[in-house]
Structure 1
Amino acid sequence: MARGELETVPGTEGLFYYDTGMYDVDEYGSVYVVDAEKPAVIDTGIGTNREGLFDAIDEALSGRVPAYVLPTHAHLDHAGGAGYLARRYSDATVLAHERAVPHLVDPERLVEGTKAAVGEQWKYYVEPAPIPEDRIDGLEDDDTIDLGDRTLDVHEAPGHAPHQVVFHDRTADAVFTGDAAGIYVRDDDEIRVTSPPPQFHAKQCIDDVKMIQEVDPELLCFGHFGPREYDADVLDEYKRTLVEWVEAVKQKRRELDDDEAVIEHFVKHARIVDAWGGEKSRAEARLNTRGAIAYLDYVGEDA
Structure 2
Amino acid sequence: MRAGEFEPVRGVNDLYVHDTGMFETDEYGAVYVYDVERPIVIDTGTGANREALFETIDEIGIGREELAWILPTHAHLDHAGGAGYLAERYPNAEVRVPEKGVRHLVDPGALVAGTKSAVEEQWAHYAEPKPVPDDRIGGVSEGDRIDLGDRELVVRDAPGHAPHHAVYHDPDAEVVFAADAAGIYVPEVDAVTPTSPPPQFDLEQCLDDIRLIEDLGPETLCFGHFGPRECDADLIGEAKRAYVEWVERVRRKRAELDDDEAVVEHFEAASRDIDYWNPERARANMSLNVRGVLTYLDHVDDGE
Determine the structure 2 residue equivalent to 1:205.
Answer: 206
Determine the structure 1 residue equivalent to 2:135.
Answer: 134
Cα distance, 1:264 vs structure 2: 0.5
Cα distance, 1:120 vs structure 2: 1.7
- Residues 208-254 of structure 1 deviation map (CA, whole Å, 9 limit, x = unaligned): 00000000011000001201001122211211111111111111111
Distance in 2 between residues matched to 1:253 and 1:213, nearest whole Å: 32
**Amino acid of the residue matched to residue 228 of structure 2?**
P
Q: Pairwise CA RMSD of aligned residues?
A: 1.4
Determine the structure 1 residue equivalent to 2:74.
Answer: 73
Unmatched tracts of structure 1, length 5 or more: none
Cα distance, 1:282 vs structure 2: 2.2
Determine the structure 1 residue equivalent to 2:149.
Answer: 148
- What secondary structure, in the 3-state scheme, does the structure 2 residue paired with 1:250 have? helix
Determine the structure 1 residue equivalent to 2:265.
Answer: 264
**Amino acid of the residue matched to residue 160 of structure 2?**
G
Distance in 2 between residues matched to 1:72 and 1:112, nearest whole Å: 20
Cα distance, 1:104 vs structure 2: 0.6
Distance in 2 between residues matched to 1:274 and 1:20, nearest whole Å: 20
Determine the structure 2 residue equivalent to 1:216.
Answer: 217
Determine the structure 2 residue equivalent to 1:236.
Answer: 237
**Amino acid of the residue matched to residue 106 of structure 1?**
D
Determine the structure 1 residue equivalent to 2:111.
Answer: 110
Determine the structure 1 residue equivalent to 2:52.
Answer: 52
Determine the structure 1 residue equivalent to 2:5.
Answer: 5
**Amino acid of the residue matched to residue 242 of structure 2?**
T
**Amino acid of the residue matched to residue 45 of structure 2?**
G
Superposition map of 1:15-30 within 5 A: 15-30=15-30
Contact 1:26 1:276 in 2 (8 A): no
**Amino acid of the residue matched to residue 7 of structure 1?**
E
Distance in 1 between residues matched to 2:251 and 2:62, nearest whole Å: 51
Contact 2:35 2:62 in 1 (8 A): no
TM-score by length of 2: 0.96
Cα distance, 1:302 vs structure 2: 8.6
- What secondary structure, in the 3-state scheme, does the structure 1 residue paired with 2:293 have? helix
Superposition map of 1:117-196 within 5 A: 117-196=118-197
**Amino acid of the residue matched to residue 136 of structure 1?**
I
Distance in 1 between residues matched to 2:134 and 2:242, nearest whole Å: 39
- What secondary structure, in the 3-state scheme, does the structure 1 residue paired with 2:138 have? strand
Aligned pair count? 303
**Amino acid of the residue matched to residue 103 of structure 1?**
H
Distance in 2 between residues matched to 1:119 and 1:293, nearest whole Å: 19
Distance in 2 between residues matched to 1:62 and 1:135, nearest whole Å: 19
- What secondary structure, in the 3-state scheme, does the structure 2 residue paired with 1:73 have? coil
Determine the structure 1 residue equivalent to 2:31.
Answer: 31
Q: Percent identity?
A: 59
Distance in 1 between residues matched to 2:61 and 2:260, nearest whole Å: 48
Distance in 1 between residues matched to 2:261 and 2:199, nearest whole Å: 16
Distance in 2 between residues matched to 1:175 and 1:48, nearest whole Å: 26
Distance in 2 between residues matched to 1:249 and 1:114, nearest whole Å: 23
Unmatched tracts of structure 2, length 5 or more: none
**Amino acid of the residue matched to residue 164 of structure 1?**
H
Distance in 2 between residues matched to 1:258 and 1:203, nearest whole Å: 25
Distance in 1 between residues matched to 2:280 and 2:262, nearest whole Å: 19
Gap change, CA 1:208 and 1:2, over 3 Å in 2: same
- What secondary structure, in the 3-state scheme, does the structure 2 residue paired with 1:100 have? helix
**Amino acid of the residue matched to residue 173 of structure 1?**
E
Contact 1:42 1:72 in 2 (8 A): yes
Determine the structure 1 residue equivalent to 2:254.
Answer: 253
Distance in 1 between residues matched to 2:79 and 2:105, nearest whole Å: 11
